[in-house]
Amino acid sequence: MIDYLAAFPIPANLLPERLRSLLQSLPILRFGWRSVVSQKMPNSVGSVTVFVGFEGARLRNLIADSEPEVLKRFNVVFGIPPFKTEWETHSLMENASILLDQQVEEILYAGANNPYSCYEVLLMLYKARDYSSSFEVAPLGTKPAAIASALFAAEHRGVSVRYDYPRRSQGRSSGVGKVHLFTAWCDGDVGC
């Protein structure tokens, strides 16, 4: 058995005192997703599951940079519930035009601060795919989604992780606020 431990901090300036006290009183939320088409994908189609954040250009660039000779099925996952109330609106607005313009198969939801929920979305899509097709994950959103993507790729065969190289914005966050600690393990049955 392999144990994993992942931690990430939320910048202190992003958690107002009243929200900080409310969050500390809540249990960890497990948030699901909306149902997904259960049929298998055709053999010629690859699948890309994208966890999105606030920057719509990142999703647009990822779609534009996809190999034109391989048809890709894009599944977009929004972080809902978000870290902070109303953040989901920013994410939805930033990515809305892309969702209307591009061939996005599914729009799904997983808790922005819940790598377990993100992992479950990946597992559901992985099981629903045709096993001869490619399966890619692009964690462009939150750190918990990136943790889930890395663990999922480590534990499942044939999974590729796609990253981009965003430019860091000045003054977005500072300090250290709440630190989330997650544990995970692998029983060695698959790719571990």
Question: pLDDT of 100-152, one tens digit each?
Answer: 766 677 889 998 889 999 999 999 999 988 777 889 999 998 889 999 999 99
Our count of domains for the chain comes to 1
Report the amino acid identity of residue 37.
Answer: V
User: Measuring CA to CA, which residue among 17, 3, 15 is closest to residue 180?
Assistant: 15
CATH number at residue 152: 3.40.50
Tell me if 120 is assigned to some domain.
Answer: yes
Tell me if 173 is assigned to some domain.
Answer: no
CB-CB contact of 112 with 142 (8 Å): yes
Tell me if 106 is assigned to some domain.
Answer: yes
Per-residue pLDDT at 180 = 76
Question: Which residues span the domain enclosing 146?
Answer: 36-166
Tell me if 130 is assigned to some domain.
Answer: yes
Tell me if 136 is assigned to some domain.
Answer: yes
Name the pLDDT band for 23 (thresholds 50, 70, 90).
very low
Tell me if 63 is assigned to some domain.
Answer: yes
**What single DSSP character describes residue 141?**
S
Tell me if 12 is assigned to some domain.
Answer: no
* Stretch (H or E) spanning 137: strand 135-139
Tell me if 22 is assigned to some domain.
Answer: no
Report the amino acid identity of residue 117.
Answer: S
Name the pLDDT band for 188 (thresholds 50, 70, 90).
low
